[in-house]
Amino acid sequence: MSPQAPEAAAFLQPQWPALPGVQALMTLRGGGVSAAPFDSFNLSLGVGDDPAAVQANRARLRARMPARPTWLRQVHGRDVLQIRHATPEHPPEPFDAAWTREAGLACMVGAADCMPVLFATVDGRAVGAAHAGWRGLAAGVVEATLQALCEGQGVPPADVQVWLGPCIGPRQFEVGADVLQAFGQAPESPDPQLFVPRARPDGSPRWLAHLPALAQLRLQAAGVRCISTDGACTVEDPSSFFSFRRDGRTGRMLAAIWLG
């Protein structure tokens, strides 16, 4: 990820094949008005930040994003919302993913170590976004989003391109045996591309998990061919990213995609 100019420091432009009419961005932690420990471009009202600061930050986002936002109530699940112009800005039911084929509506997911995943059909007529932490990923949120997008638009998975955004990286994501088992991996002999053994000083077994590799494997198995990965680790770059694993009480970033 290359440094941004100061006036645009709050945004990251996903690097993936350009599609006519498809626009996307991800916010970074700088460029907002929130005070520590939410400094400064926190977009979540659910982390203890001053609501007035969050609303000011959301106004800055809307000035940069010419599409109507839909704020999902994320629960680390796999439910997918189809966004229409009649969809409320704050749907009451929980969703961890969304898709749309209507212009001017943003599919958005928040994150602070979990992985934002953006989808777009190669005809540039439908887009989606998913919030993929390990629980949601194991539950099938990327497959559910892909299926909703493909069935809704009438295209095969091979006609969908995907971007895997910044998340907790494979040098930082320490997990227990329950996470391996959630992905069908035996703790005694896990796939070394997905889980690397790491013993704690007290000798208890732990593993380093590779969240983007897990997502990529599942997307490829579902038939997706074009997958772009940002590769940045949210834990290792405190100047650019909020990280719950690193800081605990902190803000949330947001990834958005829309049809212009």
Task: Give pLDDT tens digits for 131-181.
Answer: 999 999 999 999 999 999 999 999 999 999 999 999 999 999 999 999 999
Q: Please write the tens of the pLDDT for every residue from 46-104.
A: 999 999 999 999 999 999 999 999 999 999 999 999 999 999 999 999 999 999 999 99
Alpha helices in the chain (DSSP H): 51-64, 134-139, 141-153, 177-182, 211-221, 244-247
**pLDDT tens profile 12-62:** 999 999 999 999 999 999 999 999 999 999 999 999 999 999 999 999 999
In angstroms, the Cα distances linking 43 to 39, 40, 48 are 11, 9, 11
Q: Phi/psi of residue 220, each to 5°? A: -65, -40
- Whether residue 225 is predicted with pLDDT greater than 80 in this model: the reply is yes
Give the pLDDT score at 203: 80
Domains of the chain: which residue ranges? Answer: 12-170+223-259
pLDDT of res. 4: 37
Task: Return the SS3 of 110.
Answer: strand
Buried b (16+ CB within 10 A) or exposed e, 204-222: eebbbbbbbbbbbebbeeb
- For tokens 């659910």, what's the residue? 46
- So what's the pLDDT on residue 6? 36
Looking at the DSSP bridge assignments, the partners of residue 109 are 255
The whole-number pLDDT of residue 224 equals 98
Backbone angles phi, psi at 244, to 5 degrees: -70, -40
Domain covering 12-170+223-259 in this structure, CATH number:
3.60.140.10
